[in-house]
């Protein structure tokens, strides 16, 4: 075999292996079976080109490119979004992604691999069209939360420093209040054990019971009738004066020294 032939075979072998490697690594996809989507974010939480895209936890594609679009506005809402992430999604998983699907950026694995998770949409919603721009859910910014907590802690500290006197006074007053409340509770406990108080409470209870019994009796029809009769009698006696009552009594044969 000529040296040229051997070198040629080696070169072709290397080329084939290179293509296989590129294919295995996902850098080369000649038979693409996926659609593209553009997901808009204002904060992408460290996602990179090549990061996996998952639907319901299953890998269905990857991040193709990350583009900065300073003047982009969402077509539907007009919201300013400066980052467009182009993702590919397998055709098999495409029907599960609907208009109401949400696009999260999550963290997985021991090495903290970032991935784009798509929540499946409901059947009532229409499917997305390939190449459509959708708004993703910006992941929470831990750094921002920490800095806000620091700021809050600083403000609290500043407030305490500035109002040290009044804060101490408030605490002392609260302390006194608690002491007094404690004293009151102790007094109450002592009082509840006094036999005289016991007796009074018992009598009060009896009175209350009697009152309840009396008021119950008053509600009966008989009592109502009696009340009505008394009322009637009083109304009839109202026009009578002293001599008339005397005459009436004399007629009845009752002798009495009245008025």
Partner 1 sequence: MTAVADFSVYLLRSLKETFTPPYRYKDIMSQLEFVSWQSLPVILFCVSFAAIVTIMESSFHMKLVVQNDALVPGFAALLILRELGAVISALLLTSRVGAGLAAEVGSMQVTEQIDALRMLGIDPVRFLVVPRFLACIAGGFLLSLIANLVCLYCAMLVSELSLGYSPGAFLTGMRAFVDFQDLIFATIKGATFGAVIPLVSCFFGFRCKSGAEGVGLATTNSVVVSSVAIIVLDFVLTYIFSHFY
What tokens does 45 get? 């939480």
- 46 is a site residue for partner 1 (CB under 8 A): no
**In terms of Cα–Cα distance, which of 163, 148, 100, 162 is closest to 126?**
100
For partner 1, the closer CB: 21 or 150:
21
Tell me which stretch binds partner 1 (CB under 8 A): 16-24, 130-138, 141-149, 209-217: 16-24
Cα 147 to Cα 36: distance, rounded to the nearest angstrom: 36
- Residues 153-186 as b/e (b if ≥16 CB within 10 A, e otherwise) read eeeeeeeeeeeeeeeeeeeeeeeeeeeeeeeeee
Rg of the chain over CA atoms, in angstroms? 47
Binding mask 107-126 for partner 1 (x = CB under 8 A): --xxx-x-------------
- 78 is a site residue for partner 1 (CB under 8 A): no
Q: CA separation (Å) from 13 to 10, 19, 21, 22, 195? A: 5, 10, 12, 14, 109
**In terms of Cα–Cα distance, which of 90, 111, 102 is closest to 41?**
102
Tell me which stretch binds partner 1 (CB under 8 A): 14-22, 129-137, 207-215, 219-227: 14-22
Number of residues counted as binding partner 1 (CB under 8 A): 22
CB of 167 to partner 1, least distance (A): 49
Site for partner 1 in 164-223 (CB under 8 A): none
Host H or E run for residue 202 = helix 195-218
Tell me which stretch binds partner 1 (CB under 8 A): 6-14, 159-167, 177-185, 192-200: 6-14
* CA dihedral angle for residue 152, residue 157, residue 161, residue 163, rounded to 10 degrees: 50
- 14 is a site residue for partner 1 (CB under 8 A): yes
Tell me which stretch binds partner 1 (CB under 8 A): 4-12, 99-107, 130-138, 242-250: 4-12
- 19 is a site residue for partner 1 (CB under 8 A): no
Q: Which residues bind partner 1 (CB under 8 A)?
A: 3-4, 6-7, 10-11, 13-14, 17-18, 20-22, 24-27, 50, 109-111, 113
């Amino acid at each position: 075999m000529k040296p040229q032939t051997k070198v040629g075979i080696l070169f072709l072998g290397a080329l084939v292996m290179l293509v296989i490697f590129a294919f295995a690594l996902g850098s080369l996809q000649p038979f693409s079976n996926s659609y593209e989507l553009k997901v808009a974010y204002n904060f992408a939480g460290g996602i990179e080109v090549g990061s996996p895209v998952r639907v319901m936890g299953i890998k269905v594609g990857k991040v193709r490119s990350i583009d900065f679009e300073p003047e982009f506005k969402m077509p539907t809402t007009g919201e300013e979004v400066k980052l467009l992430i182009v993702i590919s999604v397998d055709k098999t998983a495409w029907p599960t992604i609907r208009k109401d699907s949400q696009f999260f950026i999550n963290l997985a694995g021991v090495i903290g691999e970032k991935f784009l998770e798509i929540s499946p949409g409901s059947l009532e919603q229409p499917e997305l069209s390939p190449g459509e721009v959708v708004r993703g859910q910006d992941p929470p910014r831990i750094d921002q939360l920490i800095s806000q907590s620091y700021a809050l802690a600083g403000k609290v500290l500043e407030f305490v420093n500035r109002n040290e006197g009044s804060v101490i006074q408030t605490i002392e007053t609260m302390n006194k209040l608690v002491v007094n409340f404690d004293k009151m509770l102790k007094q109450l406990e002592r009082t509840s054990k006094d036999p005289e108080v016991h007796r009074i409470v018992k009598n009060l209870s009896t009175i209350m019971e009697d009152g309840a019994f009396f008021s119950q009796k008053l509600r009966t029809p008989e009592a109502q009738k009696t009340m009505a009769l008394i009322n009637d009698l009083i109304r009839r006696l109202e026009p009578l004066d002293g001599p008339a009552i005397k005459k009436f009594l004399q007629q009845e044969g009752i002798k009495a020294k009245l008025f």
